[in-house]
Structures are given as structure tokens and as C-alpha cells.
Amino acid sequence: MRSERTQRVFSLFLTLSCILSRSSWFVVAQPQPQNTTTTIPVNVGVVLDMDEWMGKMGLSCITMALSDFYASHDYYKTRLVLNTRDSKDDVVGAAAAALDLLKNVQVHAILGPRTSMQADFVIDLGNKSHVPIISFSATSPFLSSIRSPYFVRATQNDSSQVRTIRAIVEAFRWREVVPIYVDNEFGEGIMSFLADALQEIDTRIPYRSVIPPSATDDQIVSQLYKLMTMQTRVFVVHMFPSLASRLFIKAKEVGMMSEGYVWIVTDAVTNSLSSLDPSVIDSMQGVLGVKPYIPRTEQLENFSIRWKTRFQQENPSILNAELNVFGLWAYDAATALAMAAESIGVANSGFQKGNTSGNLTDLETFGVAQNGPKLLQALLNTSFAGLSGDFHIIDGQLQSSAYQIVNVIGTGRRGIGFWTLKNGIVRKLNATTTKAVYSTSKANLGSIIWPGDTMSPPKGWVIPTNGKKLKIGVPMKDGFSEFVKVMPNMDTNTTTVTGYCIDVFDAIMATLPYAVPYEYVPFATPDGKPAGTYDDLVYQVFLGNFDAVVGDTTIVANRSQYVDFTLPYTESGVSMIVPIRDNKSKNAWVFLRPLTWDLWVTSFFSFVWIGFVVWVLEHRINEDFRGPPSHQTGMIFWFSFSTMVFAHREKVLSNLARFVVIIWCFVVLILTQSYTASLTSMLTVQQLQPTVTDVNELINNGEYVGYQEGSFVPGLLKQMKFNESKLKIYASLEECDDLLTKGSGNGGIAAAFDEIPYMKLFLSKHCSKYTMVAPTYKTDGFGFVFPINSPLVHDVSRAVLNVTEGDKMVEIEKAWFGQTNCPDTSAYISSNSLSLDSFWGLFLIAGVASLSAFVLFLVVFIHQHKHVLRNLEPKTSVWRKIEALVISFDKKDLSSHTFRKSELRDKSCVDVRDSMGAREASSIANGIPSPSTSFSLHTERNANCPPRPSSFSNYTDGNFVSFEGTPPHDDGDYLISHGQTTQEMVPVIELANLNNQNTQSTNENH
């Protein structure tokens, strides 16, 4: 488009240039100083629209800039001479003026032109002649020093302000923006940058309003009415002040400057607010604007006063003239050019003519400036503190500074904040902060008066003003009416829609800060049947037949490709429902089930190990753990297993054995109690188990499974490798119950797959027959459907969070699903048998304790019996050494305190027997036995010394009977005849009887 326009204009330009080159131009030259003999004049062209406000202000500022500069630098040798041309607000006029300056005046630089379209053609001339073109008002991004090296932009690029506009949109979270711009290169230049910036914050541009530069009022009103029918209410205006003035006047007339609208103007309008008519300012109340920030300095204040006085004198017809930033940039551009010209000097400089031939056009007759490259480089290297701030050219254009955000209020504007590349939106510049953080918070902005004289930020969109309600599509279904129920009324030809999903949506829409009219439209055929699946219903939103869909619609990935979902308002996931059965064990071997086989085996070997360790620790010091090998083996098993019921009666004498037994009793206590509890539960509590616990079991066995009609679940089941022929459809809760009751082998199904909300509703009515089984396949739950990029999505999603977290959601659930009294099904499902995983810690403690005691005993035993090993031959085998130690181990440890006590008792008994023997011998020698003495000694001996086993075996009942009667012989013969001595022992109680009887006999003899 640009190349075609260039060809058309240049064809016209070539025609006019022949006439213009032969005519005389009115030249306004900068007055020369008095010492002209010592200064070097440098011709500089100025191309501006002399009849426009911008041209007059720019020329005035350029003239004052040179006067101020040379007044403070009167020792400079160069002097810029201004050659002014009027472009007459025309592209061809600007090109013709530039051509005249290059050909006839041979200027070294050109200041201007005013607009980007004019500059586009003049820049080409500057590139051809190597003359720098310095513009202080051409802001279009299409103009680039990369393509045109002799173009110097002494103003801000329009693209630099889009980041400020993006920050404002992001601060108020507007999701749609409509740009309104003039239909030329100036207007189009910013659009691509604005679209990219808004896309970064997920804000879309649904429509672009393009207004011709010479649009009539009717054309402007027509565009405004078209915008009113749309839902977007945020507009960004980018056009010249003259066209923007007409736009806002008409916008106020049609009611688009009322509450709910947002207007943002670019710096092209904001910089000229001071020069607009009061009627225009009145129609712009509440508008936001962005403009480059110009620090207020004393130098700027003094210049503004001087400029206003001088401008009023030169233009008495213009009242209340106000200086804007373009005038400051013109002042700084002229100053920079004067500094650059002085730095290189232009003595003996001119234009070098190229090789020419006959029939040349004006474009080929002007030459190339010899000092053009030097002047351009000097200009690019020039930097100073100007009226507009730091003047520094990088990449051919003035570097952007901070932007100020203003609000049009009353008769002028008021600053509400700033935007910087480093900190984003800030309330004040140069504020001392501990940490530089980029922010787009609206809290950093001052108070804003929006259109309609309101302080509340507009939401940025409204329901279109075409009088229509939102058409909300709802699914038509036979079953699961608790979620959505459509009831047509044939008498009134109306339809009533109720259900859980409907109540949730109504509650959510009621919480929005604005009213949204809507109506429910069933997705049904004329005869009242469902018009399609849920996917078909969702696709109607994409086609534009519905504005939204409300119902039990699941958020899935393939649907989100052509619609937007709100946040879910229900639980998510697809699960499996299966029947449950009573699994209470009634067989004879149920007592083995509480423990797993690995725990049984571990327990058995632990019992044996503990018995062995205790036997080792007690064998050498405890008579109970000694005896024949069979007796000792039995003792190992008896002692350890008797600890299960704590029935062991053997005394444990070793401290190490006591330590092991204490630890083991603790383990046995926990193990037996756990076994008892588990067995009791198995025998008494109802044991409900699901008939199927694994999806793969259904697939491998070829079982039939069911899903709800119209659901997306069939696609999920096919992904899980279910055979399509094994899938059955159910439309209601009752039908699902009937299929599950029949079972897969009787024309029913073995399991039903559906989403968790449906499953919970089903279980609330049939909790005693079915249960939900893992795994749960992830989905995103139920959500409301809207068109892609609908502004309602964000507000409704935020409202979903507020409703679902409050009491309103609980009330709706109780109203439609009731208060279920079904206990948790997990309480009916028995736990698995107790396994080693639950008790390995206990066995570890017992094992470490017993092993430690065993090792400690072996170390001490080997240390105490190392002499046994020393007495062996040096070449004795290891096995022989072990055998020697085993033999030593099998012997009693006579040094033990248990055996020392026994020896003391035996020694005491021997002493008593010796004294008794002496006394009895004396009695026998005298021929007089002493029964009383003898029996009393026997009694005393039995009281203090345990009898030896041999003393019991030599007495019979006959002995005692014959002893009770009159002896046929004397006592000595009796004793000798039986081969016994008085030292032999009898049981204590029998000796006592004999003693009493003989005492009586003696008394009778006496």
C-alpha cells in the first residue's frame, strides 16, 4: 500500500516540481548577526504547515532556540540560517518544498515536516542528497532510521507508548479493547505494536474502528453506533487532535461518554489538550491520556513565559496559546543542530553534482551534500540537557522517557500517575523504594473520574444494547433430572428449567456486580427429544447459536479448543461403581486369616529362636534347662511357645535371659492382641467387599460395563481398551441399578463408569448395594460454557469461587440431593490380613535384643574357657575345638551362685548326719536304742536339708507297719537285718508319725 501511494504522489510531485522550480519562494531567513565577516552561515531548511497551530508553534520555538543558543555562544563561528517553506498541510507540498530547499538553496539539513506522511517522502530526498531530515513531530513507527539513515527522529516513537497503555489495561483487567484510529500511515503505524502488547496480557482486539482523515460527521456517528452494538466498552483513540475533537463531540452526543465507557487517548491528543477548544474538553470528561513526562524546571518555566509573550505578539489572533511538548522538541532539535554544525564547521562545503546528461528531471539535478555524513554523525553524537529533558539520540531517534498518565477533568487535565520501564505504574517519580519492582497495580494510580462522573472503574464490557437476552442452552435428558430438568408447558407454550446446575448458575449470576439478562433454551428437537450429545450442545456456542451453555457439562480438553469454560463448580473425576458382597468367612480355617503367611512363618521361627537363646543362657546354671537331649529340646519349644499365654513356670536365673524374655513378652502381647482383634472383626463384623477391584479384570474377563447416555465417557472407555461391543448405555439411575443387579452374565453390567457427581447421587439412593472403586480418572468437573474470549468467563469464574466456598452451595446441594444417611462404605470393607509390614519393627527389636544377649554370652563363655583351647594340641582342628567348648558348655557352672547355695545346704546336711551317727553308735554300744532321739534327729534333718532321692527308694509300707508294732527283735537286730543305718532318711511326715507312735510306746514301757 505504501509503495502504491508513493508512486501516485511522486507522479504528481514530478509534475508540480517543474512549475515550482521556476517560481520564486518566500524565504524567511534567520537574521544574521552584526559580525557577519567573522561567522559562517549554514543554510538550514524548515518545512512546516504555516497555517496550522503546530507549524506556527514549531517555527516560533526554532527561532527562539537559535536566538538563545547564539546569545550564550556568541563566540561560535557558525550561524544557522533558516529557510522556511510552507508545506500547506499536503504531502506533495512538503515534498516540493524540500526539493526546492535541496536544489535551489542547498541546505545542509531540514527541520520538519510536521506529519509522518509528509516526512515519508522528504526522507527519501534526504537519503538521496545525504541531507539529515530532523523531525520533531513525525512519530509513526513506519519511519525508521534503519531504512533511512539520514532520518533523525527528535521526538518519541509512537510504539513506545503502547507499553503504558498495556499497563493501564492490565491494571483494570480489561479483556477486550477496540482501537479507533485514523486511516493513514500515522494511525496504522501503532496498531501492530498495540496488538502485540495487549496479546501479552491476554487482552484481545475484537474489532478495529478505522476513520478516514477527511471523514464527515455522519461517517463518525455511523462508526460510533456500530461500536455501541458491541459489548466492548474500552476504546483507544489514536488520531490527530483535529479529528479526535470531532470524534469526542459526536461520542457525547450519542451517549458514549456516559457511565461504563472507557476512553484512552494516545500522546498525539494528550499533548495537544491545552490547545483544544473548551467545548471539546467538555466532551472529553473522564478520558484517560498518556504523554511523555517533561520535568518542570526553572529554565522551562522562564522559556514558557518568554515564548507566550513573543507568540502573542506575532500571532495576536490566537488567544490563550499554550506551549506543548512538540514545541520543546523543536527547540531542542534546533539547539542540537546548531551544536552539530559548530562541531564540524561547514566551510568550503557544498553539493557535489553527479554525472548528468540531457533531459534530466528535478530529482536528478540536485547533488549530494559533501558534509552530510559528518553533520549526521555529529548530530547523533550530540547530547545535552534540553527543555524536554535529556536529549540523546540512539538508533536515530530520541530515547523514550517516563510517561505520565492524566485524567481529563473540568477545564484541563490532572496527573494521576506515571509509567516507567523499570517500575511500571507508580504514583510518584523518583520515590525512594527499597526494591525496584515492576507493578501494574491500579492502587498506584490516583483517584480517577470516569465518564459519567463516576469513581467506580468500569468493567470494560456490557451486554450489547440490541435488547436481546443471552440465550443459555441447556441439555435435554430423560434421567438424572436432579441436575437439569426441562419441563415444557403445552398450555402456555413455555418451558421451565430447574435443577442443581440451574440453581448454581442463578446464584452465581446474582452475585455479579451488574445485571445480565438471560433466558434458558433447551437443546431439543421440535418434538421434545434431545437434539444431540453434550459435544453437539457445546459446539452450538462456537457456532453462535447459543451465548452460553449451563448444565452438567464436563470440562474436557477437546471441547476447550473452540469454547471457554469457567472454573468448575463440582468435584472432578470419572470413577467406577460396582456391587458389593458380604465376604464374612465361615470356613473352619478362618483362624489362620488374621495373619498373612509371612507373618505366621516369621512368628514361628521367632518363637523357636527365642526358646533357643533362653536355653543357651540358662543351660549351665539352671536345673530346669538340663537333662537328657530330648528333655532339653522339648524345653526349648515349651518355654518359648508357652509365652503366648504366659504359662511358663520355669524360673529364669540369668539376667541376660530375663532381658530377652521381657522384650519377647512385650512382642507377644502386641501380636496376640492384634490377632485377637482381627479375628474378632472377621467373625463378627459384616465384611462387604467390592465384586471387582481392578479395571483390567473387567477387560480381561470380557465383562459388560455401562455409561450414561450422551456422556463423553465412551471415548474414555475406548482409550482404556474396552471392547465397544461390551459397552451398554443407561439413561437413568433406575436403569443403572437394574443393569448392575442383573450382572454381566444375565444381560446386565458388571460395573458402571460415570462422573463423581452422578456416582454420589446414585450411591445416596443405593448405598447398601454398591460402592465406588478406585482409580479415579481425572477430569475437571462441571463448568459453564461461553464463547472463546468472552469477558463473562473471568467474572463468572470469580463468582463461582465465592458461591462454592459459601453456605449457598450447601443449601443447593441439600435441596436437590438431600441429606444422605448412608454411612461411609469404607467402614464396611474389611481391611486386609495383618502382615509383616505392620510388625517388622517389633521383631527387629526382639531380634536385636536376643542376638545381643546371645553374642555377649558367647564372648564371656569363650573368654572364661580359653584354657580349654590352650590345653589342646596346636594342630587341633577347628571342629575339635568347637567340640571341646561344647563339652565344657554342657557341664554345670559350679561357680554360679545357684550351685553355690546348693553346696552350702548339702554340707550342712552332712555335718548333721555325722553327729547323729556318733550318738546312735553310742546308743547301740550300750545296747539301748534311742528311738526318740533318732526320730527327732530325722525330723530336724528333713526340715533343714532336702532328702536325697536314694533315701526315698529304700522304704516301703511294710517297713513302717512292722515298725509300728512290737519288734520281734531288738532295735539293733531290726536295723541290721534291713541293712539300714540310723542315718537313712524317710519322708518328713512319715517320720513324724513314727516318732509319735514310738514315743507313746516308750512311755508305756516306762
Q: Which fold has domain 158-295+402-444?
A: Rossmann fold (3.40.50)
Show the cell assigned to 589.
480355617
Burial 597-625 (b: 16+ CB within 10 A, else e): eebeebbeebbebbbbbbbbbbbbbbeeb
747 backbone φψ class: left, alpha, beta (φ>0; ψ -120 to 50): left
Q: Which of 767, 855, 858, 765 is nearest to 818 (CA)?
A: 765
Distances (CA, A) of 340 to 58, 372, 836, 886: 20, 11, 92, 114
635/834 Cα distance (integer angstroms): 30
Low-confidence ranges of the chain (pLDDT < 70): 1-37, 346-349, 353-366, 431-436, 464-467, 582-587, 646-648, 685-688, 819-832, 898-1006
For residues 523 and 532, is the Cβ–Cβ distance under 8 A? yes
Predicted pLDDT at 416:
95
Predicted pLDDT of residue 431: 59
In CATH terms, 470-572 corresponds, of 3.40.190.10, 3.40.50.1820, 3.30.360.10, 3.30.230.10, to: 3.40.190.10
For residue 907, the model assigns a pLDDT of 56
Please state which architecture CATH assigns to domain 2-156+304-354+361-398.
3-Layer(aba) Sandwich (3.40)
DSSP 8-state code for residue 86 = E
Q: Please give the helix or strand (H or E) that residue 506 lies within, else none.
A: helix 500-510
The C-alpha atoms of residue 145 and residue 398 are separated, in whole angstroms, by 11
Count how many Cα atoms sit within 13 Å of the Cα of residue 487 in the half-sphere of its side chain. Answer: 8
Cell numbers describing residue 502:
440451574
Give the integer Cα–Cα distance in Å for 126 and 130. Answer: 5
Note whether 205 and 166 are within 8 A (CB): no
Q: What is the helix (H) or strand (E) element at residue 393, kind and residue range?
A: strand 389-394
Beta-strand pair 383-386/389-394 = antiparallel
Q: How is the chain split into domains, by residue range?
A: 2-156+304-354+361-398, 158-295+402-444, 470-572, 575-580+688-778+806-827, 590-684+839-867, 897-1005
| Local structure of residue 294 (DSSP, 8 states) | -
Q: Give the pairing type, strands 785-786 and 564-565.
A: antiparallel
Cell of 572: 472432578
Task: State the pTM of this model.
Answer: 0.61
> For residue 300, which of 479, 61, 516 has the smallest C-alpha distance?
61
Q: Is the dihedral of CA 777, 783, 785, 790 positive or negative?
A: negative
The pLDDT value given to residue 908: 56
Q: Is the peptide bond before 278 cis (omega within 30 degrees of 0)?
A: no
Residues 979, 985, 990, 994: is their CA dihedral positive or negative? positive
49 and 88 Cβ atoms separated by less than 8 Å: yes
- Give the model's pLDDT for residue 136: 93
Amino acid, res. 564 = D
Q: What are phi and psi of 576, to 5 degrees?
A: -120, 135
How far the first Cα of the chain sits from its last, in Å, is 163
Here the contacts of 1-4 (C-beta below 8 Å, separation 24 or greater) are 2/120, 2/142, 2/185
Tell which residue, 339, 325, 337, 349, has the closest CA to residue 110: 337
- Across 650-678, b (16+ Cβ under 10 Å) vs e yields eebbbebbebbbebbeebbeebeebbeeb
Q: What SS3 state is found at 641?
A: helix
- The burial of 263, by beta-carbon neighbours within 10 Å (0-12 exposed, 13-18 middle, 19 or more buried), is given as buried
CA 643 vs. chain centroid, Å, equals: 56
575-580+688-778+806-827: CATH number:
3.40.190.10
Q: What is the pLDDT of residue 953?
A: 37
The neighbouring-strand residues paired with 581 are 689
pLDDT at residue 590, as a whole number: 74
User: Which residues is 424 bridged to in the sheet?
Assistant: 420, 439
Q: Return the H-helix or E-strand segment holding 20.
A: helix 2-22
Q: Give CA separation, 612 vs 180, 343, 615, 649, 660, in Å.
A: 97, 109, 5, 17, 11
Of the candidates 525, 831, 809, 548, the one whose C-alpha atom is nearest the C-alpha of residue 674 is 831
**Any residues with CB less than 8 A from the CB of 757 and at least 6 apart, and which?**
483, 552, 570, 571, 781, 782
Collect all residues with Cβ–Cβ distance below 8 Å to 752 and sequence separation of at least 6.
Answer: 576, 577, 578, 705, 706, 707, 730, 736, 739, 740, 762
Q: Are 523 and 476 in contact (CB under 8 A)?
A: yes
Question: Using CA atoms, how far apart are residues 623 and 650, in angstroms rounded to an integer?
Answer: 10
Q: Rounded to whole angstroms, what are the CA distances from 100 to 47, 52, 572, 616?
A: 11, 21, 76, 124
| Inter-CA distances, 108 with 11, 43, 83, Å | 26, 6, 11
Count of helix runs (H) and strand runs (E) in the chain? 35, 31
Which of 104, 108, 105 lies closest to 42 in space, CA to CA? 108
Whether the bond between 949 and the residue before it is cis, its omega within 30 degrees of 0, is no
Same fold for the pair 158-295+402-444 and 470-572: no
Per-position DSSP letters for 693-713, written without gaps between them: --HHHHHHHT--EEEETT-SH
Q: What is the grid cell recorded at 323?
A: 506551549
Alpha-carbon span 431 to 356, nearest angstrom: 63
pLDDT of the residue at 996: 44
Q: In angstroms, rounded to a whole number, what is the distance separating the alpha carbons of residues 940 and 462?
A: 120
CA-to-CA dists, residue 764 to 579, 693, 767, 804, 817, angstroms: 14, 21, 6, 21, 8
Beta pairing class for 470-475 and 424-426: unpaired
Whole-angstrom distance, CA of residue 1003 vs CA of residue 868 = 64
651: left (phi over 0), alpha (psi -120 to 50) or beta: beta
725-783 confidence digits (pLDDT tens): 889 999 888 899 899 988 888 889 999 998 888 888 888 888 778 888 877 777 788 99
Cα distance between residue 772 and residue 778, in whole Å:
15
Q: Which contiguous run of DSSP H or E holds residue 928?
A: none
Question: Quick one: cell of 789?
Answer: 474470549
Q: What residues contact residue 93 under an 8 Å CB cut-off, 6+ apart? A: 86, 87
